[in-house]
Amino acid sequence: MPEKSEQTEAAAAEHRNNRKTREGLVVSDKMDKTAVVAVIERVRHAKYGKFMMRTKRLYAHDETNDAHIGDKVRVMETRPLSKNKRWRVVEVVERAK
């Protein structure tokens, strides 16, 4: 039996590695334990081929309220934590100047 539990743990850890990660800029930190992160993505236009900048605003869980406006952060996909929150702050890559 111990072998089976070890296999399921390994499978769970392997599944966890498939989560998306993004880097973005914190645009709001006014909520408690939540940061709004703007992620900029370069997308090629389907017809004209020009690259455009597309911005997504992600609500990320910040347990320690560590991220502040202007910080560059790395966020990772997670289970739904509230109506809009599906991401969590993994680390602050660069502090605001």
Return the pLDDT at 60: 97
Question: Closest Cα to residue 67, out of 33, 41, 21, 19?
Answer: 33
C-alpha dihedral over 32, 57, 12, 9, to 10 degrees?
-30
* Both structure tokens of 16: 């966890």
Per-residue confidence of the chain (97 residues) as pLDDT tens digits? Answer: 555 655 665 565 566 668 999 999 999 999 999 999 999 999 999 999 999 999 999 999 999 999 999 999 999 999 999 999 999 999 999 998 8
Q: Which domains does the chain have, with CATH numbers?
A: 20-94 (2.40.50.140)
